[in-house]
Amino acid sequence: MRHLLNPLDFSVEETERLLELATDIEQNLPKYSHVCDGKKLATLFYEPSTRTRLSFESAMLSLGGSVLGFSSANSSSATKGESVSDTIRMISCYADITAMRHPKEGAALVASNAAKIPVINAGDGGHQHPTQTLTDLMTIRSLTGRLDNMTIGLCGDLKFGRTVHSLIEAMVRYPGIRFYLISPDELRIPGYIRQDVLEANNIEYKEVNNLDDAMPQLDILYMTRVQKERFFNEEDYIRLKDCYILDKKKMKLAKEDMFVLHPLPRVNEISTEVDDDPRAAYFRQAQYGVYVRMALIMTLLEVEKPC
Ligand code: NCD
């Protein structure tokens, strides 16, 4: 039985197979409408979510399966003090697969140790968010036709932004990837990513504060929200929250074929005036999230691709 806790749980070849399946699903959606008949997905969300939870539910429903679950810790027995391990043992009796989001780093790993069904990490604190990464990879591949030889700018909250951590871990496995890590000093990428991922793999990267200077070099700009819920001190959040705002003026500095991604939700970091720019890809990205999650559910449940 397999889980997806970290993007590295799938090799480059397995990731490629999954992205190919997701692309086939995108192109032939009706063909997949009964492949998970009778199967159940449990969504256990101890933290807020719109896209991730609903795209998982939409994905399972589009495969013919059904969904159950909770969308806040307050409506689960967590408020009574039940542990993640105990909850997941129960859920293993009620569903065939589960997607879990939790505010604590490592919660999905703890769940996977007690589970009798595949566990998908739908975000564990400020740590990892592997299904967002699969979404990001499908978006980049669909827009540019490749996952190698490009310069990616990651901008905003690189300290707490779990989508950034997962995307870096996945992308360093492709040749010719360079990063611009654009953040205020207080929100720099964690040391473990710098040392164990970037330096350990000899990846070319620059840490900078200024978005304008980096802009002309980028093939992909990945904007992120300052992660309010992970700050200890509201004053720090207020000081840092609007540190980068992508607007039309900044977009003029970018290549004609650069794409802007954002895992969403956006707060102020992308001005709505950018939404009409053909290079703004964040809403398309959210759509790809459904196809990759369909492909992921099929892969973990070992459902055959229909002919
Ligand atoms: C991201 C997350 O939850 O980490 N959202 C998402 O799943 N699309 C990004 C964020 O909340 O800023």
Mean pLDDT by 10 residues, the chain (307 residues): 97 98 98 98 96 97 97 88 94 98 97 98 97 98 98 98 98 98 98 98 98 98 96 94 97 98 97 98 97 98 95
pLDDT at 75: 83
pLDDT at 302: 98
Q: Which atom of ligand 1 lies nearest, measured to the CA of 135?
A: 8
Task: Give, for 131, the enclosing helix (H) or strand (E).
Answer: helix 130-144
**Integer Cα distance of 190 and 285 in angstroms:** 26
Q: How many CB atoms lie within 10 A of CB 10?
A: 20
Nearest-CA residue for ligand 1 atom 7 is 52
CB neighbour list of residue 169: distance below 8 Å, 6 or more residues apart: 6, 7, 8, 128, 133, 193, 197
Task: Give, for 220, the enclosing helix (H) or strand (E).
Answer: strand 220-223
CA of 29 to the centre of ligand 1 (A): 26
pLDDT at 307: 87
Nearest-CA residue for ligand 1 atom 11 is 265
Q: Is there a catalytic annotation at residue 151?
A: no
pLDDT at 9: 98
Q: Is there a catalytic annotation at residue 266?
A: no
pLDDT at 266: 97
Q: Strand 150-155 to strand 66-70: parallel, antiparallel, or no bridges (unpaired)? A: unpaired
Pocket residues: Cβ below 6 A from ligand 1: 51-52, 123, 129, 132, 162-163, 225, 263-265
| Calculated CA dihedral for residues 291, 297, 302, 305, nearest 10 degrees | -20
CB neighbour list of residue 48: distance below 8 Å, 6 or more residues apart: 72
Q: How many CB atoms lie within 10 A of CB 90?
A: 13
pLDDT at 132: 98
**Integer Cα distance of 241 and 239 in angstroms:** 6
Which amino acid would we find at residue 208?
A: V
92-143 tens-digit pLDDT: 999 999 999 999 999 999 999 999 999 999 999 999 999 999 999 999 999 9
Catalytic residue among 3, 129, 159, 241: 129
**Integer Cα distance of 280 and 283 in angstroms:** 8
How many Å is the Cα radius of gyration of the chain? 19
Q: Is there a catalytic annotation at residue 173?
A: no
